[in-house]
Amino acid sequence: MFQSLKRFKLSNRSRGQSFLELALVLPVLMIMLLGVTEVAFYIGAYMDVVDLTREAARFASVRDPSAVNSDFDCSSGTDLNFFYDTACVISPPAGTPGCNSTFCNGFNPYITLNPATDDVVISVFTIAGGAVSDSTVFSLSHIFGSADNYKKNCQGDIVRAAPYYSTAHVNSLLLSSAPANKGYVAVEVYYCYDQVFGIPLITDFIPNPLQIHAYTLMPLPAAQPTPTPIP
Amino acid sequence: MMKPKSANQGQIIVIFAISLLALLFFIGLAIDAGSVYITYGSLKRTVDSASIAAANEFKRDANMTDMTHAAEEVFQLMNVDFSTITLDLCDKDKNGIRDSGLPPQFEARCPDTADGEAPRKLVWLQATQNAPLYFLTLLGFHTIPLTTSTISEAAPLDVVIVLDTSESMASATSDYYNWLPYDPSGCNGTNTCHPMLEAKEAAKALINTLAEGYDQVSVVSFDSADTRIYDLGLDLTAAKDAIDDLVVVNDDPPVLFKVWAPWRSGPNSLGVDVPHAGSYNPMNSEDLDGDGLDYDDPAVLGYTCPWADHPDVLEDRWWTVDEGAPDPFGWGGVPCDRDNGPGETTPAFFDSLDWNDSGIWEVSDQTDSWNWARAHTSSDAAADVFKFSALSTCSGCGLRQGANQLRNGGRFGSVWVMVFLSDGAVNLSDVHATYDEIPDALKNGFCGGEMSQEFWSSGCRDYTFTPRYCFDTSSSTCPPGSIHTDTSPQYSVLNYAMDMVDSASLTKSTNSNEPRGNEIAIYSIGLNVDGGIAEDFLRYMAAVGDDGDRQTDPCSSTAPQTSCGQYYYAPSGARLLQIFEDIAARIYTRINQ
């Protein structure tokens, strides 16, 4: 093909035209190619976050939600703080950037939570008689000194009043045919994904950073209802 | 052939236009591939969660329909279509034989029980979801079906049920009175002892939730000693039959009611009747010097009963100050019982109990005591050395036997669980004869003491939960904060029972030298216990038994007589059924694949 192209004798005018055409199509081409790459990065980040929620939920599902104390340190192995230690699964591994003294030893080096914008919400539901009888909601942003980051988008605007798994939402989804008494734990991650290329035009339509919301729900036997004490 | 000059004009645009189609095609494919990836990830984690929920239902001995409903709910909660769920079990008909026609991958994992392999509680779950396609929709492909499957496993259970069978377990029976001796043989015969009956029914209900062919169960009872009702095994029906036939309320010796009246109490200098606490050995009312024998050494007692000179003054077995007795304890007298002489062992001269309530010793007191002992032992020789004890709650004995059942018969990979029910405070420990780690010199186990002193004056109860004492050979292996000792007292029956808890369940300690236990999950039940030391101990049991760590106590700020963590408070026998069912529902599940 190149050989055949060489056979053409191009005039200055045609060369200029070609450059002009190239100049016109190259940005479009680049936007498309970079856009596809950006989407790939985004999907990769999304899958990472989904996997982390799954691992965190599985960690929580075999532990006792009543284990709550003031141990907010992922590296201390002595005391189990059910909620914080579950969130620790989503912290960066030791020795990676973003790891700090109390939020470290997690699984994935590619997802580093931003305390100012990101959040991990862990909700425990006790279901008795086919309805939520008790629930506890933990927001990691409170530990980080922020306030309910899960309610906001990555631009700081309030966009929701409750996490995805609220008592009302869970109640609306329970099946009457399923066992009446059980416990569930839900792990939700609200992660602001910074676009790698920040491609002009695209960022005019798709916010940068873009929020990734992923969740996993698991059975939590330890949250099943206990007998109501008789006075 | 086109002319080069004219062809060059707009060439890039043309090439780009053509390339754009290909580029858009690949971009469309990439987006659809992303959609497929995301859908598959969502489906996979939903199937994982749902299969755990289904396996969880093994605890309720659920059938496949119930398990499917449990899985469907998780799909619903995860916002995934559940209409394509397929669930399977190794042995749906529970006949102990692996079913035929299982999916090949699942069948390979299901044990061949007909060939002697141990059964496993595996659940196979498969689901299909249609991943939406965006670009390929233009070509007529709207969705692509994605299918995934997983196998989850509910760990097989090795469960030991430990039941208190002391006489108070008949306290709600219609003819039971707190202040009269009680013979439970009547209600035992008709199976109408309450709350024992409720405890038995609740224990059987718990066994009903276990999976036949998968789970093992053992039943142990304890009163003054432990009894193996059913050794750890797979035959759940036999275990329930054993509960019906062999779990009976113990007939405690009527020491509290029959011991000589002056030994119990008497008037002080003001004429007010006051207790004579510790005037006899609560482990053996014939043994006033604590050496395990009927003969009491005057050098130990501190006085010599005038059997030789004035046996007439001891007809009521109480030597008063007026009759010449010393008064070392301020009781206005001292107890005296007849012995056969130094070194004698058999037969004991049973005269510590005023069996016929006449106030003076008569031959019938001896014969009635021996006859009672004979009726509760297997031979004349055993009756001769019977120890009349006022006590019958050896919680440490039940814990030791329960843990041993799991140590000896528990399976690797199964979850070890102990359910412990008691209605009273610990007041006995093992002795050398029942547990050879205990020194033979401690004839009364860890109910040490002497006349008027602890633990005789407290009926062997240790009312001080702290400080905790440690009886280990070396202080380096003691629980953190405990005080090392080699005497009883200070080491008590309560300390012994706590050590039995640790040896069963403790896995964490700040003392790296402290021996670790067997990671047994313990659920404790206090049946109408007060909020004192009895409940403190049962809560300790639950605190260690939930995570192996005595420092993490879910009950630390919970009001007395309240359920918390793995401790359950039952105000009456009527509550036991619900509690046992709840315990059955709280046993963990683990995923295998």
DSSP assignment of A30-76, as one string?
HHHHHHHHHHHHHHHHHHHHHHHHHHHHHHHHTS-TT---S---TT-
Whether B27 sits inside 8 A of A32 (CB atoms) is yes
Distance from CA of A112 to the nearest CA of B (A): 21
* Chain A residues lying within 8 Å of B78, measured CB to CB: 216-217
Q: Of the candidates B277, B306, B300, B274, which has an alpha carbon nearest to the alpha carbon of residue B287?
A: B300
ipTM: 0.89
Q: Which of B30, B578, B588 sits opposite A227 (nearest CB)?
A: B578
Instruction: Output the average pLDDT for chain B.
Output: 90
Whether A227 sits inside 8 A of B579 (CB atoms) is yes
Q: Does B138 touch chain A (CB under 8 A)?
A: no
Distance from CA of A18 to the nearest CA of B (A): 6
Whether B551 sits inside 8 A of A58 (CB atoms) is no
Task: Select the highest-mean-pLDDT range: A4-18, B58-72, B142-156.
Answer: B142-156
pLDDT of residue B347: 66
pLDDT of residue A230: 33
Q: Does B45 touch chain A (CB under 8 A)?
A: yes
* Chain A residues lying within 8 Å of B74, measured CB to CB: 217, 219
Distance from CA of B417 to the nearest CA of A (A): 15
pLDDT of residue B390: 85
- Name the band, by pLDDT with cuts 50, 70 and 90, for residue B344: low
Whether A62 sits inside 8 A of B547 (CB atoms) is no
Q: What is the pLDDT of residues B284-341, one digit of tens each?
A: 999 999 988 888 999 999 999 998 888 888 999 999 999 999 999 999 999 999 886 5
Nearest CA in chain B to A169: B77
pLDDT of residue A3: 52
Q: Which residues pair with B46 in a beta bridge?
A: none
Nearest CA in chain B to A35: B27
Q: Does A43 touch chain B (CB under 8 A)?
A: yes
Query: Is B97's pLDDT higher than 80?
Result: yes
pLDDT of residue B589: 47
pLDDT of residue B9: 58
Tens digit of each residue's pLDDT, chain A (231 residues): 445 545 545 556 666 777 787 788 888 888 888 988 998 999 999 999 999 999 999 999 888 788 888 888 888 766 789 999 999 999 999 888 878 888 998 988 889 999 999 999 999 999 988 999 999 999 999 988 888 999 999 999 999 999 999 999 999 999 999 988 889 999 999 999 999 998 888 888 899 999 999 999 999 987 877 543 332
**Is B327:B321 a contact under the CB 8 Å cutoff?**
yes
Interface of B with A in 519-558 (CB under 8 A): 546-547, 551-552, 554
Section B467-476 average pLDDT: 94
Q: What percent of chain B has pLDDT over 70?
A: 95
pLDDT of residue B342: 59
Q: Which of A18, A53, A62 sits opposite B11 (nearest CB)?
A: A18
Q: Does B14 touch chain A (CB under 8 A)?
A: no
Q: Which residues pair with A158 in a beta bridge?
A: A152
Q: Which of A29, A217, A230 sits opposite B74 (nearest CB)?
A: A217
* Chain A residues lying within 8 Å of B510, measured CB to CB: 78
- What span, in angstroms and rounded, lies between the C-alpha atoms of B593 and B591? 6
- What span, in angstroms and rounded, lies between the C-alpha atoms of B136 and B29? 7
Section B359-385 average pLDDT: 92
Q: Which of B5, B10, B77 sits opposite A173 (nearest CB)?
A: B77
Q: What are phi and psi of A183, to 5 degrees?
A: -135, 150
Whether B70 sits inside 8 A of A178 (CB atoms) is yes
pLDDT of residue A92: 92
Best residue of B37, B83, B586, B592 to probe chain A, by most A CBs closer than 10 Å: B586
Distance from CA of B69 to the nearest CA of A (A): 5
**Is B167:B254 a contact under the CB 8 Å cutoff?**
no
Instruction: Dihedral sign for Cα A61, A66, A67, A73, please.
Output: positive
Q: Which residues pair with A121 in a beta bridge?
A: A139, A188
Q: Tokens 């996997």 identify what position?
A: A51
Q: Does A30 touch chain B (CB under 8 A)?
A: no
Q: Does A79 touch chain B (CB under 8 A)?
A: yes
Nearest-10 Cα torsion for B526, B529, B530, B536: -40
H or E stretch at B197:
helix B196-209
Which pTM does this prediction carry?
A: 0.69
The pair of structure tokens assigned to B470 is 């440690």
Interface of A with B in 172-191 (CB under 8 A): 173-175, 177-179, 181-182, 184
Nearest CA in chain A to B27: A36
Whether B13 sits inside 8 A of A24 (CB atoms) is yes
Q: Would you give the DSSP letter of residue B22? A: H
- What span, in angstroms and rounded, lies between the C-alpha atoms of A86 and A44? 22
